[in-house]
Amino acid sequence: MTKNYFSRYSMLTAAVLCGVLALSGCDKGKEGQAGRGPSPVSVVKVTRHDVPADMTWVAKTESSRAVEIYSRVNGFLDARKYTEGGMVNAGDVLFMMDKKPFEVQLSEALASLDSSLAAHEVAKRNLNRIRPLAKLKALSQTDLDQAIGDFQTTAAAVSNAKAQVENAKLNLSYCTITSPVTGYASSALQTDGTYINMSNSHLATVYTMSPMWVTFSMSENEEAKINQEVKEGILRRPENHDYEVQLELAGGEIYPISGRVTFSSPNFNPSTGTFELRASFENPNNQLRPQQYVRAIVKGATYVNAIVVPQIAVQEGSKGHFVWVITKDNKAQFRPVEVGSWIGNDWLIKNGLDEGDKVVTEGMMLLASEAPVKIVKEVDQKSSADDKAKK
């Protein structure tokens, strides 16, 4: 899960400072507290409830279909017919090759076909004359065999000539290069007048804009952590692993259409220690473009019967994380806790807290163990989690 580094750093620095001052206060005893009276604090009342386990990764958009446009024939590039970087529709003409050599080839192929048809007609008539004469023994069997051979040879020549005509027509049609899909076209890779052959036949690429793919990578450690939490019953995956994905764009705007995870690579990339996931998004207004960096917020998993507290309430000392809990007789109690994942502005607590505990969120700096306190504000922690779930 990716988080805002600077936000974490600031919170943790403040928490550590609070912890140091609080522990220092423990050593001074209760005398200072008695002089000041009960310390005012704000608390959240811990409740167990299902909490959305949203996971966030840095991701990148890519076209679901990037079609590379190649020339199928060798020749001179006559003209580019589209606006570079603009939208093209399926069937739009992108490039024109010089047609003249291919028109000549077609004319030659048609002339060759006419010649073959004429020769075949002569062979056919000759065979029709020789066959009855051979039956009357007026001509030899050799003469008949020769006539039959000529007929078959010219028939084959006609078939070959027809194939040459079709090939010439096909090559001529290839001089008009069209887009097979609707999408945005890249800049032209070759300029007008360039001789195109196999080595430089790539002319452009057309990118389909909808649906748009968003790819991101999960580390091996992240996957192991998720699997362990599922095994322990802490985390529940969505039915059929049907994860919803939201996109946060560069300016913090949330893309209005949700997507779905449609692909999960079965193999880890050994060079990065990650495996790729991909979500698909409809993109009717072309708001998303290929190669944009976004944040993919994967929704659908749930922390089951979980306890979460605001991150600001969790402090870190030399022996690990801890919180301040207010007892029934309104005294501060130092409580070590085992923390789990960050969930928005909250922190999952695996061990150390029970339902009904009152955890201090403001006023920790003046606390000492068993010192009297006055609760000036109390909030049910479940309310903030519910607000996140509605978003």
Asked if residue 49 lies in contact with residue 305, where contact means CB atoms within 8 angstroms, the answer is yes
Q: Is 187's pLDDT higher than 80?
A: yes
DSSP 10: H
Architecture category of domain 68-207 in CATH: Beta Barrel (2.40)
Asked if residue 277 lies in contact with residue 218, where contact means CB atoms within 8 angstroms, the answer is yes
Which tens digits make up the pLDDT trace of 311-331? 999 999 888 999 999 999 999
Confidence (pLDDT) at 28: 44
Q: 246: which strand partners?
A: 297
Q: Which secondary-structure segment (H or E) carries 388?
A: helix 381-390
- Chain-centroid distance of CA 17 in Å reads 41
| Class for the domain spanning 55-64+209-300 | mainly beta
Q: Is 230's pLDDT higher than 70?
A: yes
Asked if residue 371 lies in contact with residue 325, where contact means CB atoms within 8 angstroms, the answer is no
DSSP 252: S
Length of the chain as a residue count: 391
52-89 burial, b at 16+ Cβ within 10 Å, e below that, comes to bbbbbbebebbbbbebebebebebebbebebeeeeebe
Asked if residue 364 lies in contact with residue 324, where contact means CB atoms within 8 angstroms, the answer is yes
DSSP per-residue letters across 314-333: -EEETTEEEEEEE-TTSBEE
Q: Report the distance separating Cα 175 and Cα 75, nearest Å.
A: 9
Q: Report the distance separating Cα 115 and Cα 110, nearest Å.
A: 9
Give the tokens for residue 270. Answer: 């050994």
| Per-domain boundaries in the chain | 5-51+304-390, 55-64+209-300, 68-207
Q: Is 286's pLDDT higher than 70?
A: yes
Confidence (pLDDT) at 342: 86
> Would the CA dihedral through 289, 291, 293, 294 be positive or negative?
positive
Let me know if the fold of 5-51+304-390 is the same as that of 68-207: no
Q: 40: which strand partners?
A: 374
Give the tokens for residue 303. Answer: 């922390």
Which tens digits make up the pLDDT trace of 329-372? 999 999 999 998 888 889 999 999 999 999 999 998 888 989 99
The identity of residue 9, as a single letter, is Y
Q: Report the distance separating Cα 131 and Cα 135, nearest Å.
A: 7
Asked if residue 214 lies in contact with residue 281, where contact means CB atoms within 8 angstroms, the answer is yes
Confidence (pLDDT) at 68: 97
Q: Report the distance separating Cα 54 and Cα 384, nearest Å.
A: 15
Q: Is 130's pLDDT higher than 70?
A: yes
Q: What CATH code is assigned to 5-51+304-390?
A: 2.40.420.20
What's the start-to-end Cα distance of the chain, in Å? 19
- Chain-centroid distance of CA 164 in Å reads 46
Q: Report the distance separating Cα 146 and Cα 222, nearest Å.
A: 82
DSSP 223: H
User: For residue 362, how many other CB atoms are within 10 A of its CB?
Assistant: 14
- Greater pLDDT, 251 or 77: 77
Confidence (pLDDT) at 119: 97
Distances (CA, A) of 288 to 9, 182, 271, 278: 32, 15, 29, 15
Can you tell me whether residue 174 is helix, strand or coil?
coil
Give the tokens for residue 250. Answer: 């560069």
Q: Output the pTM of the full model.
A: 0.71
